Amino acid sequence: MRTNKPISSSLDWVTVTLYLIMIVFGWLNLYAANTSPDATDFFDTGKEYFKQLIWIIVALLSVGVILLTDSKFFVEFAYIFYGISILLLLAVLIFGVPINGAKAWFQIGTTRFQPVEIAKVASTLAIARVMSRFEFSIYNLSDIAKLGLIWFIPVAIIILQNDTGSALVFVAFFILFFREGMSPFVILFGFIAIIVFILTLIIPNYTIHMVLAASFFVFLFLKGLRRESLISAVVALSIFGISALVFKSRGADINYDLALSFGMAGASMYLIFRALIKRLSIVWIFLMMFWGSVVFAYSTDYFYEKVLNDYQRSRIMVLLGLKDDPLGAGYNVNQSKIAIGSGGFSGKGFLQGTQTKFNFVPEQSTDFIFCTVGEEWGFLGTTSVITLFVFLLIRLIKLAERQHSDFSRIYGYGVIGIFFFHFAINIGMTIGLAPVIGIPLPFFSYGGSSLWGFSILLFIFLKLDTNRNELIR
């Protein structure tokens, strides 16, 4: 039953307190990155810290509106919000302004707005709406197709905007999907895909193809299909050898990729024949996994060369240690690590960071704001920031698990995934553990649309939590 208790009595003040601490601490670091100890004009409207202060006020006003809104409003209008966000993403392709190679912002006077921040909120609501339906099943193919379409549309449009970093944030929804019953093998395949992608940058594709083929035959053997495994391996090797001889007889270099593909195609035909006779469903699964992996391995070349920008490719190569470019692609990360390391245990002091003051780190107010924390507040400051985020995530998990409504729980885990991805990748970027993909640190990085979007994302969930004992549909 719905009660008339004041919202203050059911609002989770622990999370609200964490939020307020983070935006205050974030603003102090933004102020430090944009001013000097002898600065006298605090009300300089051209400074980023002043603009961020205005956005903090706007975010707090938006939070107030959200908390006064009926929780059912977010359920009933979830698809409408999603549709509006898709239209905004499409509109920015036409009317947006290019910044750092990405056409992902609207420019209104001196104010910029990035619609992807609203798309994150709207997509989370739409996914929660789809998955909270009575008949939804994570194992039903049509339901998965609908869910995949809602997930894929914004990702595709954001990639067209050339904003790969923001598109990757949508991978965070797989944390939600896993919580709601997705097989852990999907996550495992995801890690394997990352490993395969990295390997394609280091070793030739045909070597990966051979390793996948060998693994394929071993898995068949371990699953008890010893005869099928041995015969198909012999077929593959025979066709591979014949293909190699044909190349040699024509005086051409052996095309190992093509020869191996011919060999595995022959082995696959034999296995399909055996699967039809003996009704071996496991063979079909293994074949789909193998050929899917092979196609992925060869398609990564296209993705790497055609989808990623030059600077993104360079950053990946530097991260993997395949390229040393301290004055180019590796400059940001090197300077960031110098700034963080120079802070020592307790930091140089507020407004005393030399790396910060002399702008050695590019994008210091946005993607690399964490290095300001490290330089001026030291190990104590960086540990405090990490602790705040860990506490926030743990608290949100607790709130999500106590929801009686499927919609509220699912939305909550969507929020958790997005915050975790931003937190882990952004800090990983600044210390050289993750590629620089240009995503902000929530509540710390400069950016009005990101601060506003994260605030809305969080407080919609806190509003839903005020009705945690109700079934919101």
pLDDT at 95 over 50: yes
Residue 78 has pLDDT above 50, yes or no: yes
Tell whether 447 is covered by a domain: yes
Last residue of a domain, one of 254, 285, 308: 308
* Same-domain pairing of 164 and 227: no
What was the pLDDT predicted at 195?
Answer: 74
> Which of 266, 284, 308 is the last residue in one of the domains?
308
Q: Is residue 197 part of a domain?
A: no
Residue 182 has pLDDT above 50, yes or no: yes
Instruction: Give domain status of residue 359, yes or no.
Output: yes
* Structural domain contains residue 472: no
Q: Where does the pLDDT of residue 408 fall: very low under 50, low under 70, confident under 90, or very high at 90 and above?
A: very high
Q: Are residues 168 and 246 in the same domain?
A: no
According to the model, what pLDDT value does residue 38 have? Answer: 60
Higher pLDDT pick, 392 / 366? 392
Among 220-234, 344-358, 415-429, name the one with the lowest average pLDDT. 344-358
Co-location of 265 and 369 in the same domain? no
Both tokens of 301, joined, read 């070349």
Alpha-carbon separation of residue 130 from 14, 124, 138, 456 (angstroms) = 30, 10, 11, 20
Residue percentage of the chain with pLDDT more than 90? 37
Q: What is the mean pLDDT of residues 189-218?
A: 78
DSSP 194-229: HHHHHHHHHS-HHHHHHHHHHHHHHHHHHTT-HHHH
Q: Is the pLDDT of residue 324 over 60?
A: no
154 and 95 share one domain? yes
Alpha-carbon torsion angle 67, 72, 74, 80, nearest 10: -140
Q: Please tell me the predicted confidence (pLDDT) of residue 26.
A: 93
Judge whether residue 193 has pLDDT over 90.
no
Domain boundary among 292, 308, 324: 308
Are 13 and 131 found together in one domain? Answer: yes
**Nearest one of 339, 328, 327 to 370, comparing CA atoms:** 339
Query: pLDDT tens, 457-473?
Result: 999 999 999 988 777 76
One domain, residues 95 and 212: no
Q: What is the pLDDT of residues 246-293, one digit of tens each?
A: 888 887 777 888 888 888 899 889 888 888 887 777 788 778 878 887
Distance CA(351)–CA(346), nearest Å, equals: 14
The answer to whether residue 68 sits within a structural domain is: yes
Give me the pLDDT at residue 311, please.
Answer: 65
Confidence of residue 323 (pLDDT cuts 50, 70, 90): low
Write down the pLDDT at residue 348: 87
Q: Which residues have CB under 8 Å from 47's CB, separation 6+?
A: 34, 35
330 vs 368, more confident? 368
Task: Out of 26-35, 73-82, 347-356, give the one with best mean pLDDT.
Answer: 73-82
281, 377: one domain: no
On the 0-12 / 13-18 / 19+ scale of CB atoms within 10 A, 341 is middle
The per-residue pLDDT for 211 is 84
Q: Which structural domain range is residue 216 located in?
A: 203-308
Q: Which residue has the higher pLDDT, 28 or 293?
A: 28
* 187/222 same-domain check: no
Which strand (E) or helix (H) includes residue 108? strand 102-108
Residues 41-74 pLDDT 10s: 666 767 888 889 999 999 999 999 999 999 999 9
Number of domains in the chain: 2
Q: Are residues 399 and 454 in the same domain?
A: yes
pLDDT score of 1: 45
Residues 187 and 251 both lie in one domain: no
Q: Which whole number is the average pLDDT over 213-235?
A: 86
- Same domain (yes/no): 185, 216: no
Asked, for residue 349, whether it belongs to a domain, the answer is yes
Can you read off the two tokens belonging to residue 391?
């506490």
Higher pLDDT, 434 or 58: 58
Residue 198 inside a domain? The answer is: no
Is residue 471 situated within a structural domain?
Answer: no
Instruction: Verify that 37 and 176 share a domain, yes or no.
Output: yes
